[in-house]
Amino acid sequence: MVLSLQSLFGALIFILPAYIANAVPVVLGGGTPIDLGRKFKDGTRIFGDGKTIRGFLVGVLGGAVAGYVLGLILPGTAYAFFASASMPFASAPLQYALCGLLLGFGTMLGDLAGSFIKRRLKMERGQSSIIMDQLFFMFFALAFALPLMPTNIYTFENIAFLVCVTYIAHIGSNFVANRLGLKKVPW
């Protein structure tokens, strides 16, 4: 497949609900920890105080809403992911919302998986891990959305592009969130 700007831009649009799902808990999260304060068999917290029930739910919902909005905007454009007959039971916004829901759910599970692994490695809350902090959410999001992912998005070139862009965007957005007082650490 020939690498094109349209294909790369389409990949960015496709992953947008995951980016939204990853960002929303920073602003709207908080509250009761998802592990309810429980410890794993190694004596450390399962996820820690930074992973909350509200954060998880608003992240998944944020992905679904972002998908729904894309479903209102994209049909009939060069960046439409789904043909009108791809899910005959659902309208275009609902198709995109389902994809956004899967991306959001994968994002939040990836974030939890990274936190779980960091706790097992005895890493403190807020301690940086390049792969787990910047990329786990994207890998999990793509894995969960795979059943709905268009073949023109699922290419080596697009995934490599998304890895690079996600890494840079995640570092930049976390730096800004830290400066705005929304995050304690800039990663």
| Residue 127: pLDDT band with limits 50, 70, 90 | confident
Residue 187's pLDDT is: 64
- Per cent of the chain over pLDDT 90 is 60
180: alpha, beta or left? (left if phi > 0; alpha if psi -120 to 50): alpha
pLDDT digits (tens, 9 = 90+) for 26-45: 899 999 999 999 999 999 99
pLDDT of residue 116 exceeding 50, the answer is: yes
Mean pLDDT of the chain: 89
pLDDT of residue 181 exceeding 90, the answer is: no
pLDDT digits (tens, 9 = 90+) for 128-148: 777 787 889 999 999 999 988
pLDDT of residue 89 exceeding 70, the answer is: no
In sequence order, which residues have a C-beta less than 8 Å from that of residue 62 and are 6 or more positions away?
17, 20, 21, 23, 24, 104
Rounded average pLDDT over 110-121? 93
Residue 1's pLDDT is: 47
Judge whether 60 and 97 are in contact, CB under 8 Å: no
Rounded average pLDDT over 51-71? 97
Rounded average pLDDT over 87-96? 76
Residue 154's pLDDT is: 84
Rounded average pLDDT over 63-78? 94
pTM of the model: 0.89
